[in-house]
């Protein structure tokens, strides 16, 4: 297997650490550079002590990248606004780009502008000419395009859970596109590594709350991708919650069944849609626990049916830092470079 060279920008955060952890066990990849403002000039183990003895690269500051060997792939494990400024530089050096933020999740500038308004980003896109080249990076719905892409916009973590939970139902027309409700819970790690008062342990322990009600930015990409899948315009009601867990997302999705549908037809449709997907598990014995996917790249989906209201209740669970972030990014990389899609990723979660 020929090894490709990888560079991780934003290596000091949770998303950067996740990419490092996976790539260290990937036989086809060599990490050649770690870039971040945090810990610049010091070993990455100062930021991530658990990597001691596995990765001892020195963190390079963002302004000092000229001497880095030209990488084959650059991961932007960075907030919104970084990748769109710097991607062109790395593309000119021959690299392919995988961006964790919303910078490259949209081909249309109007869609990006709507997304940017929700996160309070008033500036326009710094590289609008690159939007035509980007591919939405959810392999289960976009595999062929990802394999040919030079820029991939890694999906938002909530979006991964909700799109995977809804795609088969909308594609097979067993659920109505109107009135869909997504009620999602996430662990505190979804807020990133930088400390904030509301995520301080005494404030977060035994506390949970809804936030950004009716205005969360991931709704834009969820609706956009589901409209492509269903070939219909739709609007979902989405409410995210933070719960006192470190990692994980559990999305409870409510969708009215179309005429004549029942639990068996729904399970059959989901199994058919995902029959060749290595990281999707359709559960028939109940939804299980969020810990069933913790530390893995799997998405567990359970379909349930409320006969009184003729409603499907779909439970979709992922690890927000893996299938919702770094794991999905490596899955995209595997497709972009012709590796087996599961390389470095096919292992069970952590128990207990």
pLDDT tens for 104-162 read 999 999 999 999 999 999 889 999 999 999 999 999 999 999 999 999 999 999 999 99
Q: Is the pLDDT score of 63 beyond 80? A: yes
Residues forming CATH 3.40.50.720 domain(s) in the chain: 4-154+325-336
Average pLDDT over residues 283-294: 94
Domain with residues 4-154+325-336, CATH architecture? 3-Layer(aba) Sandwich (3.40)
Residues recognised as catalytic: 157
Exposed e or buried b per residue across 29-60, where buried means at least 16 C-beta atoms within 10 angstroms of its C-beta: bebbbbbbebbbeebbbebbeebeeebebebb
CB 96 within 8 Å of CB 336: yes
pTM for the model: 0.97
Q: Is the pLDDT score of 80 beyond 70? A: yes
The whole-angstrom separation of Cα 139 and Cα 335 is 8
Pick one of 3.30.360.10, 3.40.50.800, 3.50.50.60, 3.60.21.10 as the CATH number of 158-318.
3.30.360.10
Backbone angles phi, psi at 43, to 5 degrees: -65, 145
Q: Is the pLDDT score of 351 beyond 90? A: no
Q: Is the pLDDT score of 172 beyond 90? A: yes
pLDDT of residue 200: 84
**324-336 per-position pLDDT tens digit:** 999 999 999 999 9
Per-residue pLDDT band at 287 (split at 50, 70, 90): very high
pLDDT of residue 112: 97
Average pLDDT over residues 289-302: 97
Picking from 345, 335, 330, the residue whose alpha carbon sits closest to that of residue 31 is: 330
Per-residue pLDDT band at 197 (split at 50, 70, 90): confident
Q: Is the pLDDT score of 1 beyond 70? A: no
Range with the poorest average pLDDT among 45-49, 117-121, 198-202: 198-202
The whole-angstrom separation of Cα 52 and Cα 91 is 31
In terms of pLDDT, which residue wins out, 174 or 350?
174
The whole-angstrom separation of Cα 315 and Cα 308 is 19
Q: Is the pLDDT score of 350 beyond 90? A: no
pLDDT of residue 194: 83
Per-residue pLDDT band at 196 (split at 50, 70, 90): confident
CB 159 within 8 Å of CB 218: yes
Quote the DSSP letter at residue 266. H
User: Cα torsion for 311, 270, 105, 15, to the nearest 10°?
Assistant: 100
Quote the DSSP letter at residue 87. H
Residues forming CATH 3.30.360.10 domain(s) in the chain: 158-318
Percent over 90 (pLDDT), the chain = 93
The whole-angstrom separation of Cα 112 and Cα 129 is 13
CB 1 within 8 Å of CB 26: no
Q: How many CA atoms lie within 13 A of 348 on its CB side?
A: 5
């Amino acid at each position: 297997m020929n090894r490709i060279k990888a560079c991780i920008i934003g290596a000091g955060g949770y998303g950067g650490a996740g990419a490092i952890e996976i790539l260290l066990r990937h036989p086809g990849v060599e990490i050649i550079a770690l870039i971040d403002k945090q810990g610049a000039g010091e070993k990455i183990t100062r930021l991530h002590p658990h990597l001691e003895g596995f990765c001892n690269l020195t963190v390079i500051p963002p302004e000092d990248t000229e001497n880095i060997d030209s990488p084959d792939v650059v991961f932007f494990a960075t907030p919104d606004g970084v990748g769109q400024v710097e991607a062109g530089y790395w593309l000119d050096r021959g690299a392919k780009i995988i961006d964790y933020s919303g910078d490259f999740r949209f081909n249309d500038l109007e869609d990006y502008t709507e997304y940017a308004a929700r996160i309070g980003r008033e500036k326009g896109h710094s590289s609008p000419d690159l939007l035509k080249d980007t591919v939405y990076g959810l392999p289960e719905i976009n595999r062929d395009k990802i394999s040919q892409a030079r820029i991939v916009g890694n999906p938002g973590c909530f979006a991964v859970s909700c799109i995977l939970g809804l795609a088969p139902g909308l594609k097979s027309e067993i659920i109505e596109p109107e009135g869909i409700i997504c009620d999602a819970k996430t662990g505190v790690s979804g807020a990133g590594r930088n400390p904030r008062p509301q995520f301080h342990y005494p404030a977060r322990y035994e506390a949970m709350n809804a936030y950004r009600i009716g205005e969360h930015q991931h709704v834009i990409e969820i609706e956009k991708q589901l409209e492509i899948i269903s070939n219909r315009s739709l609007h979902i009601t989405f409410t995210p919650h933070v719960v006192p867990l470190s990692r994980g997302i559990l999305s409870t999705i409510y969708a009215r069944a179309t005429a004549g549908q029942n639990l068996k037809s729904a399970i059959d449709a989901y199994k058919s849609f995902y029959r060749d997907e290595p990281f999707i598990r359709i559960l028939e014995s109940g939804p299980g626990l969020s810990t069933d996917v913790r530390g893995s790249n799997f998405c567990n989906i359970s379909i349930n049916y409320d006969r009184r209201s003729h409603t499907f209740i779909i439970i979709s669970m992922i690890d927000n830092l893996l299938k919702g972030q770094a794991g999905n990014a490596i899955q995209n990389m595997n497709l972009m470079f012709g590796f087996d899609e599961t390389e470095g990723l096919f292992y069970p979660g952590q128990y207990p």
